[in-house]
Structure 1
Amino acid sequence: MNDQGNAIPIQKDKPIVPIRPRDAASLLLIDRSGKDLRILMGKRHMRHVFMPGKFVFPGGRTEPADGRISAIAELSDIDQAKLLTGMGSRSSVQRCRAIALSAIRETYEEAGLLLGRRHPDTVSISHPDWAAFVERGILPDLSVLRYFARATTPPGRSRRFDTRFFLAFRDAVADTLPETTGPSQELEELCWLPFHEANQLDIPEITRTIIKEAEAILAANPALAPGNDVIRFRMKYGRFVREVF
């Protein structure tokens, strides 16, 4: 009752509307030029609402336009088939390409590294996000990517992502911006670190888990030939599970 003796209506909790996870991609770029393998990490700017100050791999949301970008070589048949697995009714080759290409685009935007190969003819990509590739005559190369892990943000979060993780060697970088970061400036303090040092950084737990999986893949398949297992992490029956396919 309020001060006037009138009944106060009971506020019912609003039902939680399920949020469909957005496609995202992340790239673990590996430098094999020295004695120890080194992985590229960058610190998220403190202005970010999502994981400020944490060290992560380059990556971000997939945009539908990514799937229409030309490439000098496509994903291996095995990697494409593994990406198609679990896509359900929204499964398509273009969506596979979009996810893989977004890993390359985000690596450029956040780290200033262009994965691909120079093309003898004029490169024609009209989308502005790929202008740096056009200016340098580089087409992205999907064949160097190895799909190896997938993680889905648990339900109930305000932001959810269905992130696919790829491995590639630093050898696949065709050009590098002179700046110490990418044009988006989302990552700072970019560094190449041995795996054990990367694990000592301030990193999210899922990042630590993905690093461990990457180490295992590289130990079993040091040349990153197509055909490795793909590890999926997701909530199932109220708990976080690891699945292999």
Structure 2
Amino acid sequence: MNAKPSTTPPGAPQAVARPIRTAASLILVRDSARGMEVLLLRRAEKADDQNSGASVFPGGVVDTHDRSLHTMCKGLDDVAASARLGIPDGGLDYYAAAVRECFEEAGVLFASGIDGALVELDRLPAGRLEAMRHAAEQGTDALLAMCEPQGWLLAVDRLAYFSHWLTPPGMLRRFDTRFFISEMPAAQDVKPDGREIVAHMWLKPAEAVDPARGLKLMNVTRRTLEQLAGWDSAAHCLAHARALTGIPLNMPRLADGPEGRRPVNIEEAAYAEIGRLDPEGRGDARYALEAGLATQLSPRIRRMAGDEESPHSYFVGGDAGQWALIDPAPSGEAQAGAAPGPVRWLLSTAARTEQAAAALEQLRSSAWPDATVLWPGAGEMLDLGGATLRTLQAGPPEDGAAARQFLLAEERFLFTGTAQSPAVPAGDEVEWIAPASGFIVRSS
């Protein structure tokens, strides 16, 4: 097992903080003979745009003037909108911005006439529609001036709140975006503005994410399309959206790995570890652990990733610069080169048997001749010099011997070793669990 370079340790220089802008996006769906389709707009190519050329849903930044549209919103006030979004106030700004951006980018307007029905823009003379579109593109106040004389109200009650995403730390531009969803209004056609948006397409969600289609999709767009692929009709999709409660914030994190740097989503195994090691979004944490990869989990802990036949090994040390090695790999020579300092103790989470004890002693003599092999019992402490390892019994004894876990008290780190279902101590003694394989996780 060859040691590989470690990731940047916690405490490395922090990335420059990026301002976060609030935004709103509107997902439009419709039924067709082929099933439910979703509208995607292709952004223009721009050198300074991280989403240049991407296929996206209509949307954009919430404007400070969007609050002036509150009086024009139908069926929803700011109190109800804010409660739905889980914020103190200003929730209606997002709904209004979603409607405004959809009209500016796609020419689709969610507005109701005096009779309460959605306006039928296709019945308007072409010249009048273009003039209205041009006026609305001048800003929020222009949209207000366009709707008021005709008695139109923004039909925000047709929008269902769908999801909440925050751009990962480390990105050049970060957006805190609320996504809404609605069915495409009848008697309206999509008309891209030709500047920000250069093309549009209606696709089944599964078609849009198919690599053969070749669309450039942002992570949030791809994840949303994958979710939408689960519904066969617009009615079923919207019924689901309107029934949602407690919509969580999704904030991916950038990480590196065999496929290059990419966003890691909240449900992926590596997510919690990436958040601990790289909260600033440098992107140097990992979403895959190759055998032999050394990772500095904290100033006191370094992990050597195991392979299919051996668990992870953990170097654990205190302020004195002497280290304990928990579960050393059978080929200890490679690990010796990755040790952060002198290894004084060898520990094992396995049950102490004659075979296990002989194997660990043989490894000590060949790779760690200056170390001492310890088999502490439950409750025993090991002073690392400024840090303490406490031994816990991992489960009931088997054949007279019991597996063990080790708790680094100062960092509330529990090393579980081969235990399949670790018995986590009650209370708040454990914050992080370091398993035999995979990534560290927060204690539930």
User: Shorter-normalised TM-score: what interval?
Assistant: 0.7 to 0.9
Which residue pairs with 2:93 in the alignment?
98
What is the letter of the counterpart of residue 107 of structure 1?
C
- Correspondence 1:181-196 to 2 at 5 A: 181-182=192-193, 185-196=195-206
The 2-side partners of 1:218 and 1:168 are apart by 15
TM-score, normalising length: structure 2: 0.43
Structure of greater Rg? 2
Which residue pairs with 2:127 in the alignment?
none
Q: How many residues align?
A: 216
The 2-side partners of 1:228 and 1:151 are apart by 16
The 1-side partners of 2:200 and 2:81 are apart by 28
Which residue pairs with 2:45 in the alignment?
46
Which residue pairs with 1:227 in the alignment?
243
Assess if the C-alpha contact under 8 Å between 1:79 and 1:147 holds in 2. no
Q: What root-mean-square deviation, in Å, do the aligned CA atoms of Structure 1 and Structure 2 show? A: 3.5
Larger relative contact order, structure 1 or 2 (CA cutoff 8 Å, min sep 6): 1
Does 2:197 match 1:198?
no
What is the letter of the counterpart of residue 75 of structure 2?
A
Assess if the C-alpha contact under 8 Å between 1:22 and 1:160 holds in 2. yes
The 2-side partners of 1:228 and 1:136 are apart by 34
How far the C-alpha of 1:14 sits from its partner, in A, is 9.0
Instruction: Provide Cα deviations, 1:9-28, integer angstroms capped at 9, x if missing partner.
Output: xxxx9964423421101111
How far the C-alpha of 1:136 sits from its partner, in A, is 5.1
Which residue pairs with 2:61 in the alignment?
61
How far the C-alpha of 1:35 sits from its partner, in A, is 4.2
Shift in CA distance, 209/76, structure 1 to aligned 2, threshold 3 Å:
farther
Assess if the C-alpha contact under 8 Å between 1:27 and 1:104 holds in 2. yes
The 1-side partners of 2:232 and 2:81 are apart by 16
Instruction: Provide Cα deviations, 1:65-86, integer angstroms capped at 9, x if missing partner.
Output: 21231212217988643302xx
Assess if the C-alpha contact under 8 Å between 2:81 and 2:92 holds in 1. no
Q: Which shifted more, 106-115 or 234-243? A: 234-243
Shift in CA distance, 40/75, structure 1 to aligned 2, threshold 3 Å:
farther
Which residue pairs with 2:20 in the alignment?
21
The 1-side partners of 2:100 and 2:23 are apart by 11
How far the C-alpha of 1:174 sits from its partner, in A, is 7.1
Shift in CA distance, 76/148, structure 1 to aligned 2, threshold 3 Å:
farther
Does 2:182 match 1:168?
yes
Instruction: Flag structure 1 segments of 5+ consecutive residues without an equivalent.
Output: 1-12
Shift in CA distance, 145/49, structure 1 to aligned 2, threshold 3 Å:
same
Assess if the C-alpha contact under 8 Å between 2:23 and 2:177 holds in 1. yes
4+ aligned runs moved over 6 Å, structure 1: 75-79, 217-221
Instruction: Flag structure 2 segments of 5+ consecutive residues without an equivalent.
Output: 1-11, 117-139, 256-263, 269-444
- Correspondence 1:70-219 to 2 at 5 A: 70-74=72-76, 80-84=82-86, 87=87, 91-92=88-89, 95-119=90-114, 127-134=141-148, 137-171=151-185, 175=188, 180-182=191-193, 185-199=195-209, 200=213, 201-216=215-230
Shift in CA distance, 82/104, structure 1 to aligned 2, threshold 3 Å:
same
Shift in CA distance, 144/127, structure 1 to aligned 2, threshold 3 Å:
same
